[in-house]
Amino acid sequence: MRRSLGVAAAAAAGVTFAASLLAVLAGPDDVLGLPSRAVSTAGVAVVTNPNVVSRVGPTVHLTARRTGPPVEGSPDLVLALGHTEDVRSYVGDAPHTVVVQVLPELGTVRTEDVAGSGTLPGPPLGQDFWVVEASGPAAAGVRWPTTDGVWSWVLLNADGSPGVAAEVAVGVEVPGLFAWSLGVVGVVLGAVAVALLLLRLRRGPATRPGARSRALPFPQPRGRPRVDVG
């Protein structure tokens, strides 16, 4: 019996811990994020290979934060997504860096530098082939419900100048994950409370250690019984 209770308690603790951890990681916005990774280039842009963006269905949250504090007068950081063919046409023969592969389990990002002598045909902001785009002096973030297609993410300076460096973090939105995790924690804690209550009722009221039971005396009649003689 005790062994079964121990196993059940350990299982309840494990489930509660896992659900609590999921709630903390996801937060109220239901986004599970991966650790950020540093990417940089001496060229004009960092471009991802199509295979890096190959999953269809989940909503992706991507945030890029410039490495180091922003310098006064420095261009904004631009994060954008477009069809790979359009992106390659835009970058052309300008020097850039390609993200070949992302290995989350190893915490590494494989990149290749592409040499070139060209320049961008125009500033990146406002280009009509971007599906999503964002910019900011220190950070840029976008939310994109993934769809079928051949896509590439691009990281650039707003004026198209060379030298881009940022920490990039990716998150996947899981609708209802935060509420579900809290619900699991509540159900498990409620079940534990009910089990403890039932166990207490089954054992009966607790007695103090060393207490002795005392028999109550049988009540005796007072005086002599009265007998009526007819």
Range of the structural domain that residue 99 is part of: 31-174
Q: Indicate whether 120 belongs to any domain.
A: yes
The whole-number pLDDT of residue 193 equals 72
The whole-number pLDDT of residue 22 equals 47
Q: What ranges in the chain are assigned the alpha helix state H?
A: 2-26, 84-91, 177-203
Q: Indicate whether 206 belongs to any domain.
A: no
Mean pLDDT for back-to-back runs of 10 residues, the chain (230 residues): 58 58 52 74 93 71 82 87 95 94 69 92 94 93 87 94 90 61 65 69 61 56 57
Split into its structural domains, the chain has a count of 1
Q: Indicate whether 126 belongs to any domain.
A: yes
- pTM beyond 0.95: the answer is no
The whole-number pLDDT of residue 67 equals 86
The Cα–Cα gap between 123 and 156 comes to: 9
Q: Indicate whether 107 belongs to any domain.
A: yes
The Cα–Cα gap between 16 and 11 comes to: 9
Q: Indicate whether 12 belongs to any domain.
A: no
Q: What is the CATH number of the domain that holds 128?
A: 2.60.120
Q: Indicate whether 221 belongs to any domain.
A: no
